[in-house]
Chain A
């Protein structure tokens, strides 16, 4: 074959161009830390990568949601634990009150104690997580439990919420906590084991 300078020059140039292009590609890969530089470098893998990306996003959403729920539950749990403690205290006071040896001053002192416990119970019932009050489910930013004078704790929510929540402390030594919605009534009754 007849070889001319033009051929040698062209061959040299196109080969060196090819090499340069490869070096440039590898350099870009190193610099960006990515194998897929543009959609055309590997469309199939890119689609997979994008799908994996959105799945990763979904998973991180899940993780976030789970963490939020766990802290929510923890907060609710500790509130309930506190409420339980207060109720136990009240129960003890009730047992003390059942003792016939008390004079009227003692009864008044007991009643004051119960009032204080109720105040605490009210605060617990009004405790919130991220601005939401547990007992009010989705609604209760502005709904606060009121302590009623006749030692009856009433949680009155606006009519349209169709839900009422009552804490009752009655002289018969029974403590009712009832959550009343339209159809269902949850009732928690704490009663001294020994009948008086």
Chain B
């Protein structure tokens, strides 16, 4: 049989339950916009009833737990999707920077420099004696070299930027790692009894892990039972255990060679290189940075290839022709390995084949003497030097830095021309460009100082523009890669590579964005705070609270009645 005061405790339990539910509801509303927050709900159960005659009698309500609607599996899916999205986003952003550099089809890119360069040679071919046409060629060549250099240095700046961004990302990751480990400790303390769940801490950890996964590819699992019987949260990066419970290891970037690499700091302080495994995972911004670096390096080497091919082809044709005035002294721009090296197997940029080139010596009366110098498979540089020296009117030697130097006797000048071996272009004598890559491409100083040295003709006649015409024809003639492609085509293919990569990552990013949005919607649907729902709950619990309060008033009245009876 129940006593009067039993009612008070039932009423109190009802008040408590409603109060707690109201608070939880309010907490949900307050955190409606907190990232990573999952709605919490108060789980109520009937309090253990008392056995009585004539049957069991309810003793009010009990709060069993407050649970979060957090779905770990869904969180993991969201995390994976969002880290992949960060990867595509970062890559796509970097690639669009490259696109701005290439600056096609805005018309101010390398394409227009190339076209200007070739058409200035065409102009020279129609009017070879004009000083203006010559300086125009030289200026366009300078602009072209500058364009190459500028794109190359911007690309290399991007690599440096990528390195510093990598370090910043790793600093952030390290902060997150220590925070997560710290929260792990807190969770393990909070859940010590094995009953309570530290909802807010878990939400917070989930959010931090998500942030970390957006930076580096991670692998998480709960493992290793400690004496408390709790599962322990562990996290791996690049196959190395970074977090295990409240213990953690940090990461570090170290410059190796030209660029930063990613290292894991072992307990003893020694470093383990995890760059490769992080890069191959393709999730998160760090992985994206490492991958983008490779892509940019690919572009750079292609740009170098274009610059080198362009210079080689122009130089080869240029050394077949003659300028207006001969040289009184000429040193090669490239160094030979040593005087005894066989020319056909040298270190020089262009392969030298057997054949011949001509030396034309002009005396003070303008008389021309042409001598042919033959190069065969066994000729060494000193052989060539000796052949040159044996020509009357000029002398040749190889200087201390292994440059080949030819000098004319006083009052005489000489031309080196009609080269079908590649020798002159290779050692850099009478070439148009000097350099072997985009970064060091420049107009040969000999030409920059004296435009009359531009070999516009096959002879030194002022009206001869045949060679300039041949160089102008290079723009579209298929001279590269065994005659399958031209210089402009090669450049166009670089631009299309940049475009295709950019487009690819852009569409991957967009796809991944919708996928992430979808999972996010799913997560919101499951764990998000619905204000309508909370408002309804507010009313529900408010009513319940009022009713419980009313009930206590009733008990109070009853008590008063009883007490009144005594009076």
Contact = CB atoms under 8 A, between A and B. Distances in A.
Interface in B459-500: 459, 461-464, 472, 475-476, 488-489, 491-493, 495-496, 498-500
Given A6-B524, A10-B520, A39-B104, A54 B506 contact: no
A185 interface: no
A80 B525 CA distance: 93
Contact of A43 (B100, B503, B531): B503
Nearest to A158: B366
A44 B95 contact: no
A99 interface: no
A36 B457 CA distance: 41
Contacts of B517: 10-11, 14
Interface in A31-75: 32, 34, 36, 38-44, 46-47, 49-51, 53-55, 57-58, 60-61, 64-65, 68-69
A5 B28 CA distance: 13
A14 B516 CA distance: 11
A10 B524 contact: yes
Contacts of B495: 39, 43, 46-47, 50
Contacts of B513: 14
A132 B463 contact: yes
Interface stretch (B8-16, B119-127, B136-144, B312-320): B119-127
Given A61-B122, A139-B461, A7 B496 contact: no
Given A34-B105, A64-B126, A141-B129, A7 B528 contact: yes
Nearest to A69: B126
Contact of A58 (B368, B462, B475, B530): B475
B102 A5 contact: no
A32 B106 CA distance: 9
> What is the interface of chain A mostly: helix, strand, loop, or mixed?
helix
B512 to A, nearest CB: 13
A2 interface: yes
B129 A131 contact: yes
Contact of B32 (A6, A11, A65, A69): A6
A60 B120 CA distance: 12
A53 B462 contact: no
A65 B492 contact: no
Nearest to A9: B33
Nearest to B368: A160
A159 interface: yes
Contacts of A49: 105
B99 A38 contact: yes
Interface string A144-184: 00000000000000111000000000000000000000000
A196 interface: no
A41 B366 CA distance: 60
A39 B99 contact: yes
Contacts of B499: 38-43, 46-47
A181 B526 CA distance: 98
B526 A2 contact: yes
A5 B457 contact: no
Contacts of B459: 138
Contact of A40 (B130, B491, B506, B520): B506
Contacts of B104: 39, 46, 50
Contacts of A38: 96, 99-100, 499, 502
Given A6-B528, A160-B366, A139 B502 contact: no
Contacts of A109: none
Nearest to B100: A38
A30 interface: no
A109 B354 CA distance: 68
21 contacts: A3-B525, A3-B530, A4-B531, A10-B524, A36-B105, A38-B502, A40-B96, A40-B501, A40-B503, A43-B502, A44-B496, A50-B488, A50-B495, A57-B118, A58-B476, A61-B119, A131-B129, A132-B463, A138-B462, A138-B464, A141-B462
7 interchain residue pairs of minimum CB distance: A39-B499, A43-B499, A40-B502, A138-B463, A4-B528, A138-B461, A4-B530
Interface of B: 32-33, 95-96, 99-100, 102, 104-106, 111, 114-115, 118-119, 122-123, 125-127, 129-130, 366-368, 457, 459, 461-464, 472, 475-476, 488-489, 491-493, 495-496, 498-503, 506, 513, 517, 520-521, 524-526, 528-531, 533
